[in-house]
Amino acid sequence: MFGSVIPTVTATPSSSSAHTLQTGSSGRETFVYVVGARPNYVKIAPVLVAMRKARPEARHILINTGQHYDPALSSLFVEALEMPAPDYDLEVGSASQAQQVAMVMQRIEPILIAEQPTAVIVPGDVNSTLAASLVAVKLGIPVVHLEAGLRSFDRSMPEEVNRVLVDQLAALSLVHSPEAVTNLAAEGIGDKRVRFVGNTMIDALVAVEERVAESHAAEDFGLEPSSYLLVTLHRPALVDGPLLLDALDALAEISEVMPVLFPVHPRTRQRLANYQAPENLQLCEPMGYLGFLSAQTTARAVLTASGGAQEESTFLGVPCFTLRDNTERPITIERGTNTLIGLNPDAIRHIPEMLANWEPNPLRPELWDGQAANRAVAAILEMVANSGSVLETA
Protein backbone atom coordinates (compact mmCIF):
# COMPACT_ATOMS: atom_id res chain seq x y z
CA MET A 1 0.00 0.00 0.00
CA PHE A 2 1.08 3.58 -0.53
CA GLY A 3 1.62 6.23 2.15
CA SER A 4 3.23 6.20 5.55
CA VAL A 5 2.70 3.69 8.28
CA ILE A 6 0.71 4.74 11.31
CA PRO A 7 3.06 6.62 13.63
CA THR A 8 3.64 5.88 17.29
CA VAL A 9 2.76 9.08 19.13
CA THR A 10 3.39 10.05 22.72
CA ALA A 11 2.05 13.60 22.46
CA THR A 12 -1.06 14.58 24.34
CA PRO A 13 -4.16 16.20 22.80
CA SER A 14 -4.19 19.95 22.44
CA SER A 15 -5.88 21.72 25.34
CA SER A 16 -7.30 24.35 23.00
CA SER A 17 -11.02 24.67 22.69
CA ALA A 18 -12.92 23.62 19.56
CA HIS A 19 -13.30 27.32 18.68
CA THR A 20 -9.57 28.05 18.49
CA LEU A 21 -7.90 27.29 15.20
CA GLN A 22 -4.44 25.71 15.33
CA THR A 23 -1.25 25.79 13.41
CA GLY A 24 0.25 22.37 12.74
CA SER A 25 3.09 20.72 14.59
CA SER A 26 5.51 22.42 12.17
CA GLY A 27 4.19 25.88 13.11
CA ARG A 28 2.40 26.22 9.76
CA GLU A 29 -1.26 25.95 8.91
CA THR A 30 -2.03 22.29 8.42
CA PHE A 31 -5.10 20.91 6.68
CA VAL A 32 -5.99 17.24 6.89
CA TYR A 33 -8.22 15.59 4.27
CA VAL A 34 -9.74 12.19 5.06
CA VAL A 35 -10.87 9.79 2.32
CA GLY A 36 -12.02 6.22 2.62
CA ALA A 37 -14.29 5.21 -0.25
CA ARG A 38 -14.63 5.65 -4.00
CA PRO A 39 -16.81 8.80 -3.97
CA ASN A 40 -14.61 10.49 -1.35
CA TYR A 41 -11.75 10.78 -3.80
CA VAL A 42 -13.97 12.43 -6.38
CA LYS A 43 -15.41 14.93 -3.90
CA ILE A 44 -12.19 15.88 -2.13
CA ALA A 45 -9.78 16.04 -5.09
CA PRO A 46 -10.91 19.43 -6.43
CA VAL A 47 -10.85 20.91 -2.91
CA LEU A 48 -7.38 19.60 -2.20
CA VAL A 49 -6.07 20.97 -5.50
CA ALA A 50 -7.70 24.37 -4.90
CA MET A 51 -6.51 24.56 -1.29
CA ARG A 52 -2.92 23.83 -2.31
CA LYS A 53 -3.10 26.69 -4.80
CA ALA A 54 -4.67 29.07 -2.29
CA ARG A 55 -2.36 28.08 0.57
CA PRO A 56 0.88 26.81 -1.00
CA GLU A 57 2.80 27.54 2.18
CA ALA A 58 0.50 25.35 4.30
CA ARG A 59 0.86 21.64 4.91
CA HIS A 60 -1.80 19.51 3.19
CA ILE A 61 -2.06 15.97 4.55
CA LEU A 62 -4.15 13.29 2.86
CA ILE A 63 -5.24 10.32 4.96
CA ASN A 64 -6.68 7.26 3.25
CA THR A 65 -8.49 5.02 5.72
CA GLY A 66 -8.48 2.11 3.29
CA GLN A 67 -12.22 1.49 3.72
CA HIS A 68 -12.20 0.58 0.02
CA TYR A 69 -9.00 -1.28 -0.75
CA ASP A 70 -9.62 -2.59 -4.28
CA PRO A 71 -7.23 -0.70 -6.60
CA ALA A 72 -10.07 -0.03 -9.05
CA LEU A 73 -11.93 1.78 -6.28
CA SER A 74 -9.12 3.73 -4.63
CA SER A 75 -5.61 4.04 -6.04
CA LEU A 76 -6.84 4.53 -9.61
CA PHE A 77 -8.62 7.65 -8.40
CA VAL A 78 -5.34 9.05 -7.17
CA GLU A 79 -4.00 8.69 -10.73
CA ALA A 80 -7.12 9.79 -12.63
CA LEU A 81 -7.79 12.86 -10.48
CA GLU A 82 -4.12 13.81 -10.19
CA MET A 83 -4.22 13.68 -6.42
CA PRO A 84 -1.05 13.14 -4.44
CA ALA A 85 -0.52 9.73 -2.91
CA PRO A 86 -1.88 9.63 0.64
CA ASP A 87 0.51 10.66 3.38
CA TYR A 88 -1.02 8.01 5.63
CA ASP A 89 -2.84 4.80 4.80
CA LEU A 90 -4.77 3.29 7.72
CA GLU A 91 -5.42 -0.03 5.91
CA VAL A 92 -8.76 -0.60 7.63
CA GLY A 93 -10.40 -2.67 4.88
CA SER A 94 -13.78 -4.37 5.18
CA ALA A 95 -15.33 -5.00 8.59
CA SER A 96 -18.61 -4.55 10.42
CA GLN A 97 -19.92 -1.03 10.91
CA ALA A 98 -18.74 -0.87 14.52
CA GLN A 99 -15.35 -2.43 13.81
CA GLN A 100 -14.69 -0.11 10.89
CA VAL A 101 -15.55 3.03 12.85
CA ALA A 102 -13.51 1.83 15.83
CA MET A 103 -10.45 0.98 13.75
CA VAL A 104 -10.46 4.33 11.95
CA MET A 105 -10.81 6.17 15.26
CA GLN A 106 -8.00 4.21 16.87
CA ARG A 107 -5.63 4.63 13.92
CA ILE A 108 -6.33 8.26 13.06
CA GLU A 109 -6.10 9.66 16.59
CA PRO A 110 -2.28 9.51 16.91
CA ILE A 111 -1.93 11.12 13.49
CA LEU A 112 -4.14 14.06 14.42
CA ILE A 113 -2.36 14.44 17.74
CA ALA A 114 1.01 14.49 15.98
CA GLU A 115 0.00 16.78 13.12
CA GLN A 116 -2.14 19.24 15.13
CA PRO A 117 -4.16 20.33 12.09
CA THR A 118 -5.86 23.67 11.63
CA ALA A 119 -8.92 21.79 10.35
CA VAL A 120 -9.97 18.31 9.29
CA ILE A 121 -11.94 18.16 6.04
CA VAL A 122 -14.21 15.13 5.59
CA PRO A 123 -16.40 14.41 2.54
CA GLY A 124 -19.59 12.40 2.24
CA ASP A 125 -21.22 9.95 4.61
CA VAL A 126 -19.17 6.76 4.97
CA ASN A 127 -17.94 5.26 8.23
CA SER A 128 -14.55 6.92 7.78
CA THR A 129 -16.24 10.31 7.68
CA LEU A 130 -17.97 9.75 11.00
CA ALA A 131 -14.94 8.20 12.70
CA ALA A 132 -12.54 10.98 11.68
CA SER A 133 -15.04 13.63 12.76
CA LEU A 134 -15.53 12.11 16.20
CA VAL A 135 -11.80 11.98 16.86
CA ALA A 136 -11.16 15.50 15.56
CA VAL A 137 -13.92 17.07 17.63
CA LYS A 138 -12.74 15.35 20.81
CA LEU A 139 -9.25 16.73 20.15
CA GLY A 140 -10.61 20.25 19.72
CA ILE A 141 -9.98 20.33 15.96
CA PRO A 142 -12.62 21.99 13.72
CA VAL A 143 -14.32 19.64 11.27
CA VAL A 144 -15.36 20.82 7.80
CA HIS A 145 -18.05 18.58 6.29
CA LEU A 146 -18.10 18.57 2.51
CA GLU A 147 -21.48 17.59 1.03
CA ALA A 148 -23.33 18.33 4.26
CA GLY A 149 -27.08 18.42 4.82
CA LEU A 150 -28.16 15.58 2.53
CA ARG A 151 -31.05 13.57 3.96
CA SER A 152 -32.96 10.51 2.79
CA PHE A 153 -34.97 10.56 6.08
CA ASP A 154 -34.38 6.82 6.28
CA ARG A 155 -32.47 5.96 9.46
CA SER A 156 -32.20 2.32 8.37
CA MET A 157 -29.41 3.47 6.02
CA PRO A 158 -26.04 3.55 7.81
CA GLU A 159 -25.07 6.51 5.64
CA GLU A 160 -28.02 8.51 6.90
CA VAL A 161 -26.94 8.02 10.50
CA ASN A 162 -23.42 9.10 9.58
CA ARG A 163 -24.68 12.24 7.80
CA VAL A 164 -26.81 13.39 10.71
CA LEU A 165 -24.08 12.86 13.29
CA VAL A 166 -21.27 14.45 11.26
CA ASP A 167 -23.39 17.53 10.56
CA GLN A 168 -23.94 17.98 14.29
CA LEU A 169 -20.20 17.75 14.89
CA ALA A 170 -19.05 19.95 12.01
CA ALA A 171 -17.81 23.46 12.60
CA LEU A 172 -18.47 24.28 8.96
CA SER A 173 -21.00 22.58 6.67
CA LEU A 174 -20.42 22.93 2.93
CA VAL A 175 -23.61 22.10 1.02
CA HIS A 176 -24.27 21.44 -2.64
CA SER A 177 -28.01 22.03 -3.00
CA PRO A 178 -30.62 24.36 -1.50
CA GLU A 179 -32.61 21.64 0.29
CA ALA A 180 -29.49 20.77 2.29
CA VAL A 181 -29.57 24.24 3.84
CA THR A 182 -33.20 23.68 4.81
CA ASN A 183 -32.41 20.27 6.30
CA LEU A 184 -29.61 21.68 8.44
CA ALA A 185 -31.75 24.57 9.66
CA ALA A 186 -34.44 22.10 10.73
CA GLU A 187 -31.81 20.38 12.87
CA GLY A 188 -30.68 23.59 14.55
CA ILE A 189 -27.59 24.17 12.42
CA GLY A 190 -27.73 27.85 11.58
CA ASP A 191 -26.43 30.05 8.80
CA LYS A 192 -23.10 30.88 10.45
CA ARG A 193 -22.04 27.24 10.18
CA VAL A 194 -23.34 26.67 6.62
CA ARG A 195 -22.08 27.70 3.20
CA PHE A 196 -23.80 26.81 -0.09
CA VAL A 197 -20.82 26.15 -2.38
CA GLY A 198 -22.08 23.71 -5.02
CA ASN A 199 -21.08 20.19 -6.00
CA THR A 200 -17.37 19.36 -6.03
CA MET A 201 -18.09 15.98 -7.64
CA ILE A 202 -19.11 17.95 -10.73
CA ASP A 203 -15.84 19.90 -10.50
CA ALA A 204 -13.98 16.60 -10.80
CA LEU A 205 -16.10 15.58 -13.79
CA VAL A 206 -15.50 18.90 -15.56
CA ALA A 207 -11.76 18.66 -14.90
CA VAL A 208 -11.47 15.33 -16.74
CA GLU A 209 -14.01 15.88 -19.53
CA GLU A 210 -11.40 15.81 -22.29
CA ARG A 211 -9.81 12.63 -20.95
CA VAL A 212 -13.26 11.05 -20.64
CA ALA A 213 -14.03 11.87 -24.27
CA GLU A 214 -10.83 10.07 -25.31
CA SER A 215 -11.63 6.92 -23.30
CA HIS A 216 -14.34 5.26 -25.46
CA ALA A 217 -14.89 2.69 -22.70
CA ALA A 218 -18.14 1.26 -24.10
CA GLU A 219 -16.48 0.47 -27.43
CA ASP A 220 -14.14 -1.91 -25.60
CA PHE A 221 -17.25 -4.02 -24.92
CA GLY A 222 -18.55 -3.77 -28.48
CA LEU A 223 -21.31 -1.33 -27.50
CA GLU A 224 -22.63 1.49 -29.64
CA PRO A 225 -23.21 4.91 -28.03
CA SER A 226 -26.76 5.49 -26.72
CA SER A 227 -27.64 1.82 -27.09
CA TYR A 228 -27.03 0.26 -23.66
CA LEU A 229 -28.05 0.35 -20.02
CA LEU A 230 -25.17 0.97 -17.59
CA VAL A 231 -25.69 -0.63 -14.18
CA THR A 232 -24.05 -0.08 -10.79
CA LEU A 233 -25.53 -1.81 -7.73
CA HIS A 234 -23.72 -2.36 -4.45
CA ARG A 235 -25.76 -1.15 -1.47
CA PRO A 236 -26.33 -3.79 1.24
CA ALA A 237 -30.12 -3.62 0.92
CA LEU A 238 -29.73 -4.80 -2.67
CA VAL A 239 -26.82 -7.20 -2.67
CA ASP A 240 -27.00 -8.92 0.73
CA GLY A 241 -30.20 -10.85 0.04
CA PRO A 242 -32.49 -12.29 -2.63
CA LEU A 243 -33.09 -8.93 -4.33
CA LEU A 244 -29.78 -9.15 -6.15
CA LEU A 245 -30.69 -12.30 -8.11
CA ASP A 246 -34.15 -10.86 -8.75
CA ALA A 247 -32.47 -7.77 -10.20
CA LEU A 248 -30.21 -9.95 -12.37
CA ASP A 249 -33.26 -11.82 -13.70
CA ALA A 250 -34.88 -8.50 -14.64
CA LEU A 251 -31.66 -7.27 -16.27
CA ALA A 252 -31.38 -10.50 -18.25
CA GLU A 253 -34.89 -9.83 -19.58
CA ILE A 254 -33.98 -6.24 -20.51
CA SER A 255 -30.83 -7.46 -22.26
CA GLU A 256 -33.07 -9.05 -24.89
CA VAL A 257 -34.16 -5.52 -25.83
CA MET A 258 -31.01 -3.48 -25.15
CA PRO A 259 -27.47 -4.45 -24.10
CA VAL A 260 -26.65 -4.18 -20.40
CA LEU A 261 -23.17 -3.32 -19.08
CA PHE A 262 -22.70 -4.06 -15.37
CA PRO A 263 -19.32 -3.23 -13.76
CA VAL A 264 -19.51 -5.37 -10.63
CA HIS A 265 -18.44 -3.85 -7.32
CA PRO A 266 -16.29 -6.15 -5.13
CA ARG A 267 -19.10 -6.42 -2.61
CA THR A 268 -21.48 -7.59 -5.32
CA ARG A 269 -18.90 -9.81 -7.02
CA GLN A 270 -18.62 -12.03 -3.95
CA ARG A 271 -22.30 -12.88 -4.23
CA LEU A 272 -22.25 -13.66 -7.96
CA ALA A 273 -19.38 -16.15 -8.02
CA ASN A 274 -21.39 -18.87 -9.78
CA TYR A 275 -23.79 -16.68 -11.77
CA GLN A 276 -23.94 -17.30 -15.53
CA ALA A 277 -25.05 -14.17 -17.35
CA PRO A 278 -26.75 -14.19 -20.76
CA GLU A 279 -24.74 -12.86 -23.70
CA ASN A 280 -26.18 -9.33 -23.77
CA LEU A 281 -25.79 -8.90 -20.00
CA GLN A 282 -22.10 -8.12 -19.69
CA LEU A 283 -20.67 -8.39 -16.18
CA CYS A 284 -17.23 -6.83 -15.97
CA GLU A 285 -14.63 -5.80 -13.42
CA PRO A 286 -15.01 -2.39 -11.73
CA MET A 287 -14.02 0.44 -14.03
CA GLY A 288 -11.63 3.23 -13.20
CA TYR A 289 -13.05 6.70 -12.76
CA LEU A 290 -12.43 7.81 -16.34
CA GLY A 291 -13.74 4.59 -17.84
CA PHE A 292 -16.95 4.65 -15.86
CA LEU A 293 -17.60 8.29 -16.70
CA SER A 294 -17.00 7.50 -20.36
CA ALA A 295 -19.48 4.60 -20.23
CA GLN A 296 -21.96 6.80 -18.38
CA THR A 297 -21.62 9.66 -20.87
CA THR A 298 -22.51 7.45 -23.86
CA ALA A 299 -25.12 5.24 -22.14
CA ARG A 300 -28.76 5.25 -23.17
CA ALA A 301 -29.58 5.16 -19.47
CA VAL A 302 -28.13 4.33 -16.05
CA LEU A 303 -29.56 2.04 -13.40
CA THR A 304 -28.04 2.67 -9.99
CA ALA A 305 -28.33 2.75 -6.22
CA SER A 306 -25.38 5.15 -6.00
CA GLY A 307 -25.70 8.78 -5.03
CA GLY A 308 -22.75 9.81 -7.17
CA ALA A 309 -24.17 8.23 -10.32
CA GLN A 310 -27.43 10.10 -9.76
CA GLU A 311 -25.51 13.38 -9.70
CA GLU A 312 -23.20 12.64 -12.61
CA SER A 313 -26.10 11.49 -14.79
CA THR A 314 -27.96 14.70 -13.99
CA PHE A 315 -25.01 16.81 -15.11
CA LEU A 316 -24.46 14.68 -18.22
CA GLY A 317 -28.16 14.69 -19.19
CA VAL A 318 -28.36 10.87 -19.20
CA PRO A 319 -31.60 9.25 -17.93
CA CYS A 320 -31.04 7.65 -14.53
CA PHE A 321 -33.23 5.11 -12.73
CA THR A 322 -32.54 4.69 -9.02
CA LEU A 323 -33.37 1.34 -7.47
CA ARG A 324 -34.22 2.76 -4.05
CA ASP A 325 -37.30 3.88 -2.17
CA ASN A 326 -35.75 7.27 -1.38
CA THR A 327 -32.84 9.50 -2.25
CA GLU A 328 -30.85 12.03 -0.27
CA ARG A 329 -30.39 13.87 -3.57
CA PRO A 330 -33.91 15.03 -4.53
CA ILE A 331 -32.36 17.82 -6.58
CA THR A 332 -31.49 15.16 -9.18
CA ILE A 333 -35.21 14.49 -9.58
CA GLU A 334 -36.41 18.09 -9.41
CA ARG A 335 -33.74 19.56 -11.71
CA GLY A 336 -32.09 16.53 -13.23
CA THR A 337 -32.59 13.23 -15.00
CA ASN A 338 -33.21 10.93 -12.06
CA THR A 339 -36.31 8.75 -11.50
CA LEU A 340 -36.90 6.73 -8.32
CA ILE A 341 -38.29 3.29 -9.18
CA GLY A 342 -38.28 1.88 -5.64
CA LEU A 343 -36.40 -1.00 -4.09
CA ASN A 344 -38.25 -3.36 -6.40
CA PRO A 345 -36.36 -5.39 -9.02
CA ASP A 346 -39.57 -5.95 -10.99
CA ALA A 347 -39.56 -2.22 -11.78
CA ILE A 348 -36.36 -2.72 -13.78
CA ARG A 349 -38.37 -4.49 -16.46
CA HIS A 350 -40.22 -1.23 -17.19
CA ILE A 351 -37.10 0.81 -17.98
CA PRO A 352 -37.38 0.41 -21.80
CA GLU A 353 -41.00 1.60 -21.61
CA MET A 354 -40.04 4.56 -19.39
CA LEU A 355 -37.23 5.48 -21.77
CA ALA A 356 -39.66 5.55 -24.68
CA ASN A 357 -41.62 8.28 -22.86
CA TRP A 358 -38.64 10.07 -21.32
CA GLU A 359 -38.24 13.80 -21.97
CA PRO A 360 -34.99 15.60 -21.17
CA ASN A 361 -34.88 18.20 -18.41
CA PRO A 362 -32.69 21.09 -19.58
CA LEU A 363 -32.12 22.45 -16.07
CA ARG A 364 -28.95 21.80 -14.08
CA PRO A 365 -28.85 22.34 -10.34
CA GLU A 366 -27.60 25.70 -9.14
CA LEU A 367 -23.81 25.99 -8.65
CA TRP A 368 -23.09 22.64 -10.33
CA ASP A 369 -20.73 24.57 -12.55
CA GLY A 370 -17.21 23.27 -11.98
CA GLN A 371 -16.31 26.06 -9.53
CA ALA A 372 -17.58 24.58 -6.27
CA ALA A 373 -14.10 23.81 -4.95
CA ASN A 374 -13.06 27.45 -5.19
CA ARG A 375 -16.11 28.48 -3.18
CA ALA A 376 -15.43 25.71 -0.66
CA VAL A 377 -11.87 26.92 -0.20
CA ALA A 378 -13.07 30.50 0.28
CA ALA A 379 -15.44 29.30 3.02
CA ILE A 380 -12.72 27.29 4.77
CA LEU A 381 -10.27 30.19 4.66
CA GLU A 382 -13.00 32.51 5.97
CA MET A 383 -13.28 30.20 8.97
CA VAL A 384 -9.53 30.30 9.45
CA ALA A 385 -9.35 34.10 9.08
CA ASN A 386 -12.12 34.57 11.63
CA SER A 387 -10.18 32.48 14.16
CA GLY A 388 -13.18 30.28 14.75
CA SER A 389 -15.94 32.88 15.03
CA VAL A 390 -17.74 31.27 12.11
CA LEU A 391 -17.98 28.15 14.26
CA GLU A 392 -20.46 29.73 16.63
CA THR A 393 -24.03 28.46 16.33
CA ALA A 394 -26.32 30.96 14.62
Residue 166: what residue type?
V
What are the DSSP E strand ranges found in 14-79? Answer: 30-35, 59-64
For 163, counting Cβ atoms within 10 Å of its Cβ (0-12 exposed, 13-18 middle, 19+ buried), the class is buried
DSSP 292-329: HHHHHHT-SEEEES-HHHHHHHHHHT--EEE-SS--S-
CB 176 within 8 A of CB 372: yes
Identify the CA nearest to 204 among candidates 343, 288, 80. 80
Q: Which residues contact 52 (CB under 8 A, 6 or more apart)?
A: 60
| CA 54 from centre of chain | 23
Q: Determine which one of 60, 234, 265, 350 is catalytic.
A: 234
| Number of Cβ within a 10 Å radius of residue 20 | 14
CA distances from 189 to 124, 172, 377 (A): 18, 10, 20
Rg (CA), the chain: 21
Residue 145 annotated in active site: no
For the annotated catalytic residues, the residue numbers are 234
